[in-house]
Chains A and B, each alone.
Chain A
Amino acid sequence: QKEVEQDPGPLSVPEGAIVSLNCTYSNSAFQYFMWYRQYSRKGPELLMYTYSSGNKEDGRFTAQVDKSSKYISLFIRDSQPSDSATYLCAISSGSARQLTFGSGTQLTVLP
């Protein structure tokens, strides 16, 4: 079993839809949770960072962590075509050296 599992998609939604992206993890030592957005042929860009259970909101994006279920989610409200990208979850037990990445979910938002 991989330490971090992420549904690879692809996921296709109409503009304006609410998008839910999810990852599960197996190691209870993980305590730092990140979401990266990666456009085609570009490097990943840090989108959201949290270290506690609950929700963290930033504009149209909400990161949700449930440590008891070892489940993390990223919600995108009012999705836009510019949100079309691959979204990677990344989890760490400490430093960036210990980052473990999901395989990424490819999202397409159709105009």
Chain B
Amino acid sequence: DGGITQSPKYLFRKEGQNVTLSCEQNLNHDAMYWYRQDPGQGLRLIYYSQIVNDFQKGDIAEGYSVSREKKESFPLTVTSAQKNPTAFYLCASSMGGPQAFFGQGTRLTVV
């Protein structure tokens, strides 16, 4: 089945720790995105990548980093510089048009 796979589903981070969220797609989409979702707020764009080895900051990139070494993979690292990392993180991909297709999300909690 084609789709977007995010792992893990739940992740716990200690203060001062970096954590990496995985996102893999087998839809052959060129563009991939990371969003953050907080209760009562819309999705906010963290980073996006339109081709391999290239990525751009979104609206709330501070405290996050990404890489795009393969077309299928777009991992997100939440660094210790992100002061409020507890949120639901969503990875998405698109063929280049306006429609985005989402994974099932990773819920990150700071402990």
Contacts and interface: CB of A to CB of B under 8 A. Distances in A.
B99 A46 contact: yes
A99 B103 contact: no
A45 B100 CA distance: 9
- Which 3 residue pairs spanning A and B have beta carbons closest together? A101-B42, A32-B98, A96-B94
B40 A8 contact: yes
Contact of B42 (A42, A49, A88, A96): A88
A110 to B, nearest CB: 23
B31 A46 contact: no
Interface string B61-99: 000000000000000000000000000101010101111
Nearest to A104: B42
Interface residues of A, number: 28
A88 B43 contact: yes
- Which of the four size classes fits the interface of chain B? 20 to 34
Contact of A96 (B31, B88, B104): B31
Nearest to B91: A43
B97 A41 contact: no
Interface in B27-68: 31, 33, 40-43, 45, 48, 50
Given A41-B105, A103-B40, A103-B42, A92 B90 contact: no
A95 B45 CA distance: 13
Contact of A95 (B4, B31, B88, B90): B31
Interface string A1-36: 000101010000000000000000000000010101
